[in-house]
Homo-oligomer: A and B are copies of this chain.
Amino acid sequence: MDTNTHFGRIRQALEEQITSGVLPPGARLPAERLLSERFHTTRVTVRGALNSLEQDGIIYREDRRGWFVAPPRLVYNPTKNANFHQMAAEQGYAPDTSLIEAHRIPSTPQIQQMLGLPPLSQVYRLRRLRSIDQRVVLFVENYIRADYFPDLLDHDLSQSLSTLYQERYQTVYQHVAFQLYPVALPEQAASQLKVTQGSAGLLISRVNRDQSNRIIDCDFEYWRHYALVVQAETT
């Protein structure tokens, strides 16, 4: 790290406090104004350093609440059909899902293309917010073929979909096509994840097929970018 700039010095000083454990995961950082006094600089410069640490996933922010030390990343394997709750629990986190909305709606052209549906067909759209250890980390939109899952909306939608499919519809995820890239979080995802719109996130979208190779749903997962590491292997 380049310590010839205020930027670099602040970054390094904070990083040391964090890696040494003086500031443990989850701890709140001193206020920006306090940091700017302590380093004899201005808030603009301090925010530059904080943004860089955020970029690196070392700290994260909650909109208008402050900056916090980031806990270790969740390991996410998109090729295993692991559900969120199981995955988080196995890694020692306390997962939670809250349903934001669930509707039966006409499909859009984009969704028709992803699900291989004709125009005017109906889908369910779920919007859900997921957290680990009380930190919201994931905003996810699911689009589900309505014809394959009658009365889906009558069930508990805060559980994992894969569990619901299996127990109520004798359907399991078999084949997954996924795609992933860094984005600036769009408005709704940002506000649900309690960050400023435009801050960094990771978009993972998946198209899922069942044991008969039928496309059954797709989803758009907006992750806070510090929250996960994607891992997979192939033979």
Alpha-carbon separation in the docked complex, A179 to B232 (Å): 7
The verdict on A44 contacting chain B, using a C-beta distance below 8 Å, is yes
Copies of this chain per assembly: 2
A71 to chain B, nearest CB (A): 14
Alpha-carbon separation in the docked complex, A44 to B42 (Å): 13
Find residues 37-51 in chain A having any chain B CB closer than 8 Å to their own CB: 44
Find residues 214-233 in chain A having any chain B CB closer than 8 Å to their own CB: 225-226, 228-233
> Smallest CB-CB separation from A183: which chain B residue?
B56
Residues of B near A7 (CB, < 8 A) are: 198
Q: A187-B2, A197-B2 are in contact. Are A182 and B57 (CB under 8 A)?
A: yes
Tell whether, in the assembled complex, residue B2 and residue A176 are in contact, meaning their CB atoms are under 8 Å apart. Answer: no
Alpha-carbon separation in the docked complex, A78 to B77 (Å): 13
Tell whether, in the assembled complex, residue A178 and residue B232 are in contact, meaning their CB atoms are under 8 Å apart. Answer: yes
A205 to chain B, nearest CB (A): 10
Alpha-carbon separation in the docked complex, A202 to B229 (Å): 11
Residues of B near A103 (CB, < 8 A) are: none
Residues of B near A78 (CB, < 8 A) are: 232
The verdict on A200 contacting chain B, using a C-beta distance below 8 Å, is yes
Instruction: Report which A residues bind B (CB closer than 8 A).
Output: 1-2, 7, 11, 44, 52-53, 55-57, 73, 78-79, 174-184, 187, 197-200, 202, 225-226, 228-235
17 contacts between A and B (CB under 8 A): A2-B187, A2-B197, A7-B198, A55-B183, A55-B184, A56-B183, A175-B235, A176-B234, A177-B231, A179-B229, A180-B180, A180-B230, A181-B228, A181-B230, A182-B200, A182-B202, A232-B234
